[in-house]
Amino acid sequence: MIRILQTRLKVEVKETISAVQVLFNNEQIFFCYLLELPWKNNLPKVSCIPHGRYILKKRKAFEDGSRFDYPHLEVLNVPGRDKIKWHIGNYVHEIEGCGVPGKMLRDLNNDGLTDMVSSRLALNQLMACLEDETELNIIWE
């Protein structure tokens, strides 16, 4: 069985950084990082989502009214929230309550915040190893 364990490593005033492990029979088969907004009581478009268990669903380009012209992921069953995507990006200002995967962490624009490197590669690799719907478990370190 494939599942995802997202461990929040750093929760700052402006951003949240997580480690994302894809597990197959409890063995890690993929690893990346995830950039999200900070915790602001699960408010839409300004907060990361609460820790808990969710479903991560594969979405096609423009599926379900999405503005993304490439395959991406959507987090389902978040209380009081919808349309929470994992999509390509580098910077926290590109996020509206969603998540941006990346292969490495670096301050790309020298603003003192952690940015994602190789986001498109991370998303493509993540999509390749997931089922159409995969269990996502978010925990705090």
- For 89, 98, 121, the CA distances from 43, given in Å and listed in that order, are 21, 12, 29
Q: Give the mean pLDDT of 54-65.
A: 89
What's the chain's length in residues? 141
Q: What's the CA gap between 111 and 119, in Å, rounded?
A: 19
Q: What is the CATH number of domain 2-140?
A: 2.40.440
The model carries a pTM of 0.96
Q: Give the mean pLDDT of 98-103.
A: 98
Residue 9 one-letter amino acid: L
pLDDT in tens, 103-129: 999 999 999 999 999 999 999 999 999
